[in-house]
Homo-oligomer: A and B are copies of this chain.
Amino acid sequence: MTFDKTYEEYLCYFNEYLDKFCNELNCTPSVLNDSLVYSLKLGGKRIRPVLMLAVADIIGTGAKKVRDFALALELIHTYSLIHDDLPDMDNDDFRRGKPSNHKVFGAGNAILAGDGLLNTAYSALFNECFKGNEYVSAAKYICDCAGVYGMIAGQSADLLHENDDVADENTLEFIYENKTGKLITAATVVPSILNGGKYYSELKALGKKLGYLFQLTDDILDVEGNFEKLGKSLGKDEQENKLTGVRVYGLENCKLRVDVTGDDCIKIIDGIDGDTSFLYGFVNFVKTRLG
């Protein structure tokens, strides 16, 4: 099966599961329910859950076993986007081509929507914890990737280094690894934790590299992409003087790094047995976001 078709199948599988989750969500007042569902249903490529489901099948864990972890990961990713878009953070009016959560519901409700998604993700993960200690390990792994030694640390560093004149590579890599890399690493590692640690170090290294690759292409697209395709405001990084790959390495060197990092990913995948064709395709998929 082609990569595109397999991706589409995982995407459909996940979106159906997410739709079911959204339909069963029934909180009061209705503005709270609506604001959660609004951001969850904005669509997107769902790269984290798709990657997790695919890795789970590749290493024999099975997609079904990880689907609630994939759901939780997407809820956490979505909360982070809602809070990132707030006027006090990145101040983005658009997300996936539609108005950001706070543009529709107001900033106060958007703060609560983010908090609510984060909490709901953990409620789903606590349900999984009843199944045994490997499930607890997997849940805690996601939590730590999302937390103050993970994604939130990256967001904090990102905010801190707006408008500073330092273009420091170590700081940039800290932001890449934490803000973007950690949740993608959670996607590759959770299937391993739920399968006796199979290919743990390879999948952890792969997640980190894929995160780096993803953020590199993101930074390039902020300069070269177009709104219709990306559905979010562009040129924001320069406007807000953010610490990006483009600023630290320069645009052309960023593109060279995309190729080198893609090759690094492929070397890691070479060390994993089984039908890994989806993973090679995934690397290419991230690289070719650049068009």
- Bound-state CA distance A228–B106 (Å) is 33
Say whether A247 faces chain B, with CB atoms less than 8 Å apart. no
Give A112-145 as 1s and 0s: 1 = Cβ < 8 Å from B's Cβ atoms.
1011101110110111011001001001100110
Interface magnitude class on chain A = 35 or more
Say whether A27 faces chain B, with CB atoms less than 8 Å apart. yes
Known pairs A111-B86, A111-B88, A126-B136; A116 contacts B157 (CB<8 A)? no
- Bound-state CA distance A28–B27 (Å) is 35
Say whether A32 faces chain B, with CB atoms less than 8 Å apart. yes
Count the copies.
2
Say whether A36 faces chain B, with CB atoms less than 8 Å apart. yes
Give A15-35 as 1s and 0s: 1 = Cβ < 8 Å from B's Cβ atoms.
000000000010111011100
- Bound-state CA distance A83–B118 (Å) is 14
Nearest B residue to A160 via CB reads: B29
Is chain A's interface secondary structure helix, strand, loop, or mixed overall?
helix
Q: Which residues on A are within 8 Å of B, measured CB to CB? A: 25, 27-29, 31-33, 36, 79, 83, 86, 88-89, 106-109, 111-112, 114-116, 118-120, 122-123, 125-127, 129-130, 133, 136, 139-140, 143-144, 146-149, 152-153, 155-157, 159-160, 174
Q: Which 9 pairs across A and B sit closest by C-beta, in order of nearness?
A: A88-B107, A119-B147, A126-B140, A32-B156, A27-B148, A116-B148, A129-B136, A129-B129, A88-B108
